[in-house]
Chain A
Amino acid sequence: MKTTENYLSEISEIRKMMQESSRFLTLSGLSGILVGIYALAGAVMADSLLFTSHIFSWLKGNNVVADLSVLAGIILSLSIITIVILTSIRVKKAGKKFWNIGSRQMLLNLSVPLLSGGLLIIVFVFKEFYEIVIPGTLVFYGLSLVNAAKFTRNEIFYLGLFQLILGIVAAILPSIGILLWALGFGLLHIIYGVLMYFRYEYSPKG
């Protein structure tokens, strides 16, 4: 005859397996903070390239669109590298694998709206329809997060929802577009990162 302990451990084992096999729970919150800081720096630089152009005038080439595209590319690459490195460290610490059912599902569900949205925006940029960039990136990023949330921590759902709202507001009020973009990709990432870090990663004993 089994004891209560046995049954309790069976139940908790079942729960653990169900969760771990379908969700990727070791995404680094710290990387969210860094990504937010990169985005804020990027937004300041983009703003000066577009308007004031005093501080970063030395960066300025002949073509603003090309400058901004390079800037966006650098920030995007830096963000992805940061997320992958910090998440790998967390995964290793937890003694788990980076590439498992949960992470594959999450990446698949993230990348479908993200890549299709990204390509759509690039097509519009080539057609010189630049108004789409800020609301488009916010809305498609928001949709990607909402979609990927089923396969990671549920907080991502709300992060996505806020990005979506900011994107739609940015479409209505293009004059404060960069500010809204900085709020979404900068401030929201930082808030999200701090929240996740203290909720799941930080432990006083280190």
Chain B
Amino acid sequence: MKNSFQNLNKAFDNKIRLGIMSVLSVNPKVSFNDLKEMLDVTDGNLASHLKSLENAGYINVIKSFIDRKPNTRYEITNEGSTAFDSHLKALEEILKQL
């Protein structure tokens, strides 16, 4: 029981960060605006959560320009998808034991 709780990742202990990881785990590259729409959050809120996931090394930021407007897209890193998978497994374990 205790073990499973330890396997939960602190980085994902938030609904928005969990949502970001869920979307990025099934889509190769997702733009800031698509994420915002999907998760229904404000710019600032989303940006801060993206920053923390980026700092943890779980997502990559890809900056490019479309019609001279900056277009930021995000993708999950290998490390990120491994961490997310083990977080999901830990969640499942906890639910099984409860």
Chain A residues with CB under 8 Å of chain B are 4, 7-8, 10-11, 13-15, 17-18, 20-22, 97, 100-101
Task: Report the separation of the CA atoms of residues A5 and B50 in the bound assembly, to the nearest whole angstrom.
Answer: 26
The answer to whether A18 touches B37 (Cβ under 8 A) is no
Chain B residues with CB under 8 Å of chain A are 15, 18-19, 22-23, 25-27, 30, 34, 37-39, 88, 91-92, 94-95, 98
8 A-B contact pairs sorted by A residue (CB < 8 Å): A4-B95, A10-B18, A11-B95, A17-B18, A17-B22, A21-B30, A21-B38, A100-B34
Q: A10-B18, A13-B18, A18-B22 are in contact. Are A101 and B34 (CB under 8 A)?
A: yes
The answer to whether A13 touches B19 (Cβ under 8 A) is yes
Q: A17-B19, A22-B27 are in contact. Are A10 and B38 (CB under 8 A)?
A: no
Task: Report the separation of the CA atoms of residues A101 and B38 in the bound assembly, to the nearest whole angstrom.
Answer: 9
Q: A17-B23, A21-B26 are in contact. Are A7 and B94 (CB under 8 A)?
A: yes
Q: Is the interface of B mostly helix, strand, loop or mixed?
A: helix
Measured CB to CB, the nearest residue on chain A to B98 is A4
Closest 8 CB pairs of A and B: A17-B22, A21-B23, A22-B26, A14-B22, A18-B26, A4-B98, A18-B22, A17-B19
The answer to whether B23 touches A18 (Cβ under 8 A) is yes
Residues of A with C-beta under 8 A to B25: 18
Measured CB to CB, the nearest residue on chain A to B21 is A14
Partner of B27, one of A4, A8, A14, A21: A21
Measured CB to CB, the nearest residue on chain B to A21 is B23
Partner of B38, one of A4, A11, A15, A100: A100
Measured CB to CB, the nearest residue on chain B to A1 is B5
Residues of A with C-beta under 8 A to B38: 17, 20-21, 100-101
Partner of B91, one of A11, A20, A22: A11
The answer to whether B23 touches A7 (Cβ under 8 A) is no
- Nearest Cβ distance between residue B81 and chain A, in whole angstroms? 12
